[in-house]
């Protein structure tokens, strides 16, 4: 029986993505409400009064689940831009875990530069949205 759970644990990341994709297709309203219910709100904003780079992310995700990409971009474009990066990193780390790779995950130079540019843009976004 433990072999079954080990097999299931290894397949959990892609199964989770599959369940989320299915939920977006068949139950977008319920999934959107679930995301809103589970969100604790922005603790950084509650403590400082400033908007963090992720503020509006829950609303953006809910709009994206509902299929309204324009509204999602209006709430927080950096959350939407980060989703492909997060998905790639999620799948890469799962693949590394699956193959018992102890070495760090190799990334191309261009990919590392892209991540650095995204980090710099996020910092500029944080500063800019609080100045305006």
Q: What pLDDT is stored for residue 5 in this prediction?
A: 67
Q: Which two tokens stand for residue 17?
A: 């993505």
In the predicted structure, residue 69 carries a pLDDT above the cut 80: yes
Query: Residues 86-90: what's their mean pLDDT?
Result: 80
Query: pTM to 2 decimals?
Result: 0.63
Query: How many angstroms separate the Cα of 42 from the Cα of each of 17, 26, 33, 66?
Result: 25, 29, 17, 22
Residue 100 DSSP label: T
Question: Measured in Å, how far apart are the chain's first and last C-alpha atoms?
Answer: 58
In the predicted structure, residue 1 carries a pLDDT above the cut 60: no
CA distance 132 to 126: 11
CA distance 131 to 129: 6
Host domain of residue 88: 2-131
Residues above pLDDT 90, as percent of the chain: 2
pLDDT digits (tens, 9 = 90+) for 117-128: 888 988 888 888
Q: What pLDDT is stored for residue 2 in this prediction?
A: 67
Q: What pLDDT is stored for residue 94 in this prediction?
A: 77
Residues above pLDDT 70, as percent of the chain: 85
Q: What pLDDT is stored for residue 112 in this prediction?
A: 84
Q: Structurally, how many domains does the chain consist of?
A: 1
| Average pLDDT score over the chain | 79
Query: Residues 72-78: what's their mean pLDDT?
Result: 87
Q: What pLDDT is stored for residue 105 in this prediction?
A: 66
DSSP string across 37-89: HH----HHHHHHSSPPTTTTHHHHHHHHHTT-HHHHHHH-HHHHHHHHHHHHH
């Amino acid at each position: 029986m433990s072999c079954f759970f080990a097999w299931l644990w290894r397949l959990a990341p892609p199964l989770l993505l599959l369940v989320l994709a299915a939920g977006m297709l068949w139950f977008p309203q319920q999934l959107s409400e679930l995301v809103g219910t589970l969100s604790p709100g922005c603790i950084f904003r509650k403590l400082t009064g400033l908007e963090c780079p992720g503020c509006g992310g829950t609303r953006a995700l809910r709009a994206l689940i509902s299929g309204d990409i324009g509204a999602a971009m209006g709430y927080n474009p950096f959350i939407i831009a980060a989703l492909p990066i997060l998905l790639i990193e999620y799948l890469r780390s799962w693949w590394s875990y699956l193959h018992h790779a102890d070495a760090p995950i190799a990334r191309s130079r261009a990919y590392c530069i892209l991540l650095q540019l995204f980090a710099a843009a996020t910092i500029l976004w944080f500063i800019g949205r609080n100045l305006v």
